[in-house]
Structure 1
């Protein structure tokens, strides 16, 4: 299995072989460079592709699910648009998981209360969702995650077990932090790209092509195109006999501590 540990083992074995070989024959310097570049590419790919489980185990779907069940997840709220998302979900009697940013919880506590009161699950998506998040050291990561946990617990009365790393990036520091906080890491296998694509039809069509039993859909509750794409998606799900289920049901995990 391709992961960080195995990558390092292969790298150091190959490096040792090249060094040993260099005692007997001339070894071109570019072979060493090629080895380092290959390791760099593999690690960057593993860091940015959460379904690879390169540094840690992340739940990105349920590959054993044969029934037409999917889970909906929303990142980066709570936000004013969250209210419109909730209206669409209620219209189709669908439940979702909202991965919330701590500073947005502080800004919109009433919206988070509404999310919870309507039966949706809440997860942790860091405190500030900084672009530097994956460069933080373990202690700061633990502090960020714990701070957001506390904000969610203050409103919900429950401590969430679910964490989604900003941008889906993982690395050794994040792994060590999560060994402390004990969260389940939640990824996705159906990425809508609604944070990049501004055309709701293109967002919907992308999801439609990727949807399959056991899938986890990533959307954002921060834009009108996402709200409109969600409406089209739920119509499609209804027409094609899919069922929206919670992450707890899809993955057989607990969203909150007992």
Structure 2
């Protein structure tokens, strides 16, 4: 069922419930509970890109048979990205970087080094604002376009993919993407390197859950991710996993 149809049905139900409450056929607390429940539902589906509720995202490849996985890094490029690149080069691994436009503008040399080393880059909006879930369709579209513009100016490429900050996909984000035409790259294995301080716990979480076809989420602006990455790559090599770029894992075009 499309979201618009579901939304109309729920609003109709809530209107009827409100009328019944007004005439004391049902308690007002029930109506409040229904409203809060629906708001909670919308929050849940809007902040979980893996659910594919508003649109389809490439979160993992369950049909993968060659033990390929994709390592992805959000929120760069920053100085710490250079350390990530060194580790990737040491193990001869290609990865995928979803870059913030303003960081590309501030660190053009690092951005171009990512591309030169053969890694994938994708759109992660221009500002990565914490108000992402409250932006209008037009404001969201401008975030995407502005990021595309700086990619083109600095690196000479236009990304064909987009990763939503915080995994937020709502009707406004969907509307913007329908206009921009970007494919959405999500993830199915989150390392939590941005919120867990213990390298040991992050590594343990990833190693216990990784399987062929997975897309793993890291952040190249976190210093502890460097050591986490090295430990992970040692494990992947020993267990015959093959880290590849997301465009290779999903057989899609990286750029337009």
Q: Tell me the equivalent position of 2:85.
A: 86
Q: Tell me the equivalent position of 2:195.
A: 196
Q: Tell me the equivalent position of 2:61.
A: 62
Q: Distance in 2 between matches of 1:144 and 1:15?
A: 34
Q: Distance in 2 between matches of 1:119 and 1:23?
A: 64
Count of paired positions:
256
Shift in Å, 1:24:
9.7
Shift in Å, 1:25:
8.2
Q: Distance in 1 between matches of 2:170 and 2:114?
A: 31
Structure 2 counterparts to residues 56-205 of structure 1, below 5 A? 56-205=55-204
Q: Assess, with a 3 A threshold, how the Cα gap between structure 1 residues 23 and 225 changes in structure 2: closer, same or farther.
A: closer
Task: Indicate the SS of the match to 2:75.
Answer: strand
Q: Assess, with a 3 A threshold, how the Cα gap between structure 1 residues 157 and 14 changes in structure 2: closer, same or farther.
A: same
Q: Distance in 2 between matches of 1:19 and 1:135?
A: 26
Q: Assess, with a 3 A threshold, how the Cα gap between structure 1 residues 9 and 78 changes in structure 2: closer, same or farther.
A: same
Task: Indicate the SS of the match to 1:71.
Answer: strand
Q: Deviations over 1:135-158 (max 9, x none)?
A: 121222211211111111223322
Q: Deviations over 1:199-258 (max 9, x none)?
A: 21111111112211111000011122101000011111001111111111211211111x
Q: Distance in 2 between matches of 1:93 and 1:5?
A: 46
Shift in Å, 1:7:
3.8
Q: Assess, with a 3 A threshold, how the Cα gap between structure 1 residues 19 and 141 changes in structure 2: closer, same or farther.
A: closer
Q: Deviations over 1:9-41 (max 9, x none)?
A: 552454366468779982222222222122111
Structure 1: where are the runs of 5+ without partners?
A: none
Task: Indicate the SS of the match to 1:70.
Answer: strand
Q: Distance in 1 between matches of 2:133 and 2:18?
A: 33
Q: Is the 8 A contact 2:71 2:243 kept in 1?
A: yes
TM-score relative to the length of structure 1:
0.92
Q: CA RMSD in A?
A: 2.0
Task: Indicate the SS of the match to 1:195.
Answer: coil
Q: Assess, with a 3 A threshold, how the Cα gap between structure 1 residues 125 and 23 changes in structure 2: closer, same or farther.
A: closer
Q: Tell me the equivalent position of 1:218.
A: 217
**Worse-matched range after superposition: 34-43 or 97-106:** 34-43
Shift in Å, 1:54:
1.9
Q: Distance in 1 between matches of 2:189 and 2:207?
A: 9
